[in-house]
Structure formats: structure tokens, C-alpha cells
Amino acid sequence: MRGKLHINGEWHSFHADPATPLHRVLREQIGLTGAKDVCGEGFCGACLVEVEGEPVAACLLPVALAECTQIVTIEGLYHDPVGRRVMAALEAEDAVQCGMCFPGMVMTLTHLLKTDPTTDREKVKHALVGNICRCTGYERIVSTACRAAKAMAEADVREETA
Amino acid sequence: MIPAEALEQQTDFHHPVTVQEAVRLLAKLGTNAIVFAGGTWLMRAPAPSRHYVSLGRVAALRQLVITPETVRIGAAVTHDKLAAELQGLPGLEGLAVAAKRAANPAIRRRATVGGNLCTKEFPAADLVPALLAAEAMVKVVTPEGQANQSLLAYLDWRREAAAQNHLLVSVEVPQRAGRLLAHARLTLRRAGDYPVALISLSARPDAKNQLADVVVAVGAVEDQARRWPGLEQRLTGATADKAFAVKMAQELVADFRGREGPEVPDWYRLHVLPELLGRAMAQLQERLANGGRAA
């Protein structure tokens, strides 16, 4: 099939079988390689992209069902104020890990901070259940997410009282 | 790996907007058709040359209606939505736990209740034992008409030739006064992988505070989830007590034949089953002590 995807605010054409997983079209035809091709079973979170505002495993989403949706990949998350805040916090805390699992972790944490900003480590860990790190660990990332949530809450209070 | 553009049009997606249209399509396409709900199982190994009948545009299948007597769950309701909607319903906390703890957040946003019940190749679906213990009924539509049947009967029926082109439309869970439902799952990691074993336990306290209407359902241990009638009998009339439940389960665990899997050997699933039952009973005990609610 030939179709169009709306990704990071722009339209892109693709040509693939309708059942092709979205992440393969992103990587092979559109040149967006931030979503990784890893487990192919929705377990590891390396291919997470935002579809209609929610992180989904792109390896489990057929491209035919991604048409007419708003897709944001890690490459587009920089234009999202909360996404930018998460990335800055991870960099400032030296919590950035390799590029295999990390884009997915940023997608998850951005969604968490938007929907349920929390300083509760258990909640952050539950949110990261579907993001598998194969080489380093999670503790620093969890701490950074909690600090970012606290900073966001404080910024909100400052804005309200200004 | 075959490049994506080389896979041109081996499959077709169809997008019905009503249940009737979906059933007509399934009948017309016959054995080439496959129902596509959340896709979290099918996309692990997409079949070539198939017609997928996508349920994403059938609004009726996404409805969830709660009345004092029942909870009617549309087949395309996701785990995420189910967990959110059941929040605070004291009798069905175990079902909420099953929906909330299955797989991982991204899967729960897409995986549907119907998909969990229809995927006969997946033995470790959390919702199946939870809904068995809740004594759920399912509504199915075929080209010949519609029918309601117990989930217990449906799990066998779905394997028959007559079920070839059926569409599971909804699941109806009774809400019975005083009845509580607990769900315990064991994974190798703390979360996020396929469960080694699942136990759902429902019961109500009778006038003497002894367990009545006991239902125990076990998932992931064998190829298909099923009830544990021998244990149900032993627990009926007993008080909610973890140690007693574990002892009974140890005595009866040979009722099951463990499933050999890549993650654990067959014997291990049986080995952990009594303790898992104990955890479910502990949840029940806690809720009974708390007037029906989790602490």
C-alpha cells in the first residue's frame, strides 16, 4: 500500500505492506532511527513512539493503523516542553545511557511527567516496567525522573504565585 | 530481513464500523480472515497473505457499562481502560489487578479484553483466570446469530470448527453482594514478563464467616486456564486462612500437569502454585478484615 503518516508535525509518504510494523517504516523509509528494532514483541520498549498522545510499541502497530494518527517520535520530542525538560534533566544528572533503550525511556518518562508527575520511586519503576535496559541500570534514571517531577511542581507553584 | 517496501500488499486490512459488518466480512473471507483487535499477539509474527478484520472503528466494542448488577465490558476495551474503570469497585479488585499488572504499560494501552480471551495460543493471559473466577459470561456473534455462554464453555468452544468466524462482542461480569475477587501472579522478574502461574480466587463469607461460592481459576500452568474444582470443594465452608489454603493446594496440586516452557520447566509451575494460592487467600483475608476493601 501507499500511504501517508503524520509524524512530528509533518506528512511523510510510505510504501509497504499494511501489516508492516510502524517502527520499520519509520526507520527504513522515513529515516527516523530513534525507535529501535529490537525485541519485536512489545516487551523491551526500545521502539516506543507516541501515537495520539500515548506511548505505544511501534513494533506491534501495523502501519495501516497508524495512518490518520498523530505520531511523535523521539526525534520530535524536543519540541515538546515536557520532553525537553526530561531530556535536560537526564543530561544534567548524567543519567543518559546508550541509544538502544534510552529513546524509549525518554518517551515513557515524558508521558509519566505529563499524566502523573510523581516523586514516588515505585510509581516511576512501574511506569518503566516495559523499558528494558540491557547493560546499565535504572536507579539513576528513576532518581532523575523524581527530581524532574519535583522541579516541575515547584515551577508550577512559582508560576501560580507570580 | 526483507525491506519493508518489498512486502508490498501481501495482507489486507478491513475496517468495519459495526458488529454486523464485521461478522459479514468474517463470513465472506472465511479461513483467510483473522480478527485484529489490539494486535499485541498477532504482530509478534504477522501472518503473510491474510485478511485482517480490524475492530478499531467498531465503537460498540469499546463500551464499558457498570450497573449495580453487572459490568459489561466490550471486547475491544483495553486493559488500561478496564483497570481505570474498575477502580474502586470493591467486589472486582482482583479483575482490576489482572488488568493493571498484565504485561507492561504500552501493551496494556493496546491489548484488549477480547484479544485476551480469543487468543487460544496464549496460555498466560491474566484476564482469563480472573474472569473465570468472576463467573463471567461472554456474548458471541456468528453468521448464524448471537449467543451467550459462560466463559468456561467458551474457552473450549473457541477451538471448535463452529467458532471459525465468530466475533466475541462483550463480557458480562456479575456483581454479587459480598463476593470478593483476588488475583495473584508470579513472574520471574518483578513485572513485565509472561507469568509463570496465575491464580484468581473468588468467594463470599456466609453467615458463619465461612467461605461460600468459592471459585478458583488457574492460568499459565497448563495450555489453557481452567477452574480447580477439587480445591474449590476443600475451601468451601473453611475460614479464609492462608496456611490452610496452601496446605490444601499442596495436597491437590497433582490435579494439574505443568506446562513446559522456555522460561521455566513444567514442575516449577506446580511447585509455586500452592504459595501463589496462599497469596490470593491472603488478599481475600485482608479484604474481609477490612469490610471488603483492600487496605
Residue A115: left if φ>0, alpha if ψ -120 to 50, beta else—which one?
alpha
Sign of CA dihedral B102, B104, B108, B113: negative
Query: Which residue, B159, B199, B157, B206, is CA-closest to B178?
Result: B206
b/e code B55-70 from CB counts within 10 Å (16+ = b): bbebebbbebeeeeee
Question: Distance (Å, rounded) from C-alpha B68 to C-alpha A98?
Answer: 51
What confidence tens digit (pLDDT) does each residue in A34-62 have? 999 999 999 999 999 999 999 999 999 99
CB of A67 within 8 Å of a chain B CB? The answer is: no
CB of A20 within 8 Å of a chain B CB? The answer is: yes
- The confidence score (pLDDT) of residue B49 equals 65
DSSP state of B187: -
> Which chain B positions have a beta carbon within 8 Å of A127's beta carbon?
105
Amino acid letter at B112? T
Question: Residues 70..89 of A with a Cβ closer than 8 Å to B: which?
Answer: none
CB of B3 within 8 Å of a chain A CB? The answer is: yes
Question: Distance (Å, rounded) from C-alpha A90 to C-alpha B169?
Answer: 45
CB of B8 within 8 Å of a chain A CB? The answer is: yes
List per-residue pLDDT tens for chain B, 295 residues long.
555 555 556 889 999 999 999 999 999 998 889 999 999 999 998 776 689 999 999 999 999 999 999 999 999 999 999 999 999 898 999 999 999 999 999 999 999 999 999 999 999 999 999 999 999 999 999 999 999 999 999 999 999 988 988 999 999 999 998 999 999 999 987 666 789 999 999 999 999 999 999 999 999 999 999 999 999 999 999 999 999 999 999 999 999 999 999 889 999 999 999 999 999 999 999 999 988 766 6
Option in A29, A126, A132 nearest B5 (CB): A29
**B229: which residues sit within 8 A by CB, 6+ positions away?**
none
DSSP state of B234: H
Interface pTM (ipTM) of the complex? Answer: 0.92
> Which chain B positions have a beta carbon within 8 Å of A43's beta carbon?
104, 192-193
For residue A13, the cross-strand partners are A4
> Which chain A positions have a beta carbon within 8 Å of B56's beta carbon?
65
- The confidence score (pLDDT) of residue B48 equals 67
pLDDT for residue A133 is more than 60: yes
Count other C-beta atoms under 10 Å from residue A100's C-beta. Answer: 15
- The confidence score (pLDDT) of residue B46 equals 72
CB of A133 within 8 Å of a chain B CB? The answer is: no
The strands making up A10-15's β-sheet, listed across from edge to edge, are A10-15, A2-7, A70-72, A48-51, A54-57
Which residue's C-alpha cell is 467461605? B211
Cell of A36: 529501535
Q: Quick one: what percent of chain A has pLDDT higher than 90?
A: 85
CB of A93 within 8 Å of a chain B CB? The answer is: no
Task: Determine whether the interchain pair B43/A60 forms a contact, defined as Cβ–Cβ distance below 8 Å.
Answer: yes
| Average pLDDT value for residue range A135-153 | 91
Sorting pLDDT into bands at 50, 70 and 90, what band is A162? low
Query: Which residue, B238, B222, B227, B219, is CA-closest to B284?
Result: B238
What confidence tens digit (pLDDT) does each residue in A74-115 have? 999 999 999 999 999 999 999 998 899 999 999 999 999 999
- The confidence score (pLDDT) of residue B90 equals 86
Contact A24, A90 (CB under 8 A): no
Closest residue on chain A to B50 (Cα): A19
- The confidence score (pLDDT) of residue B8 equals 52
pLDDT for residue A142 is more than 80: yes
Cell of B213: 461460592
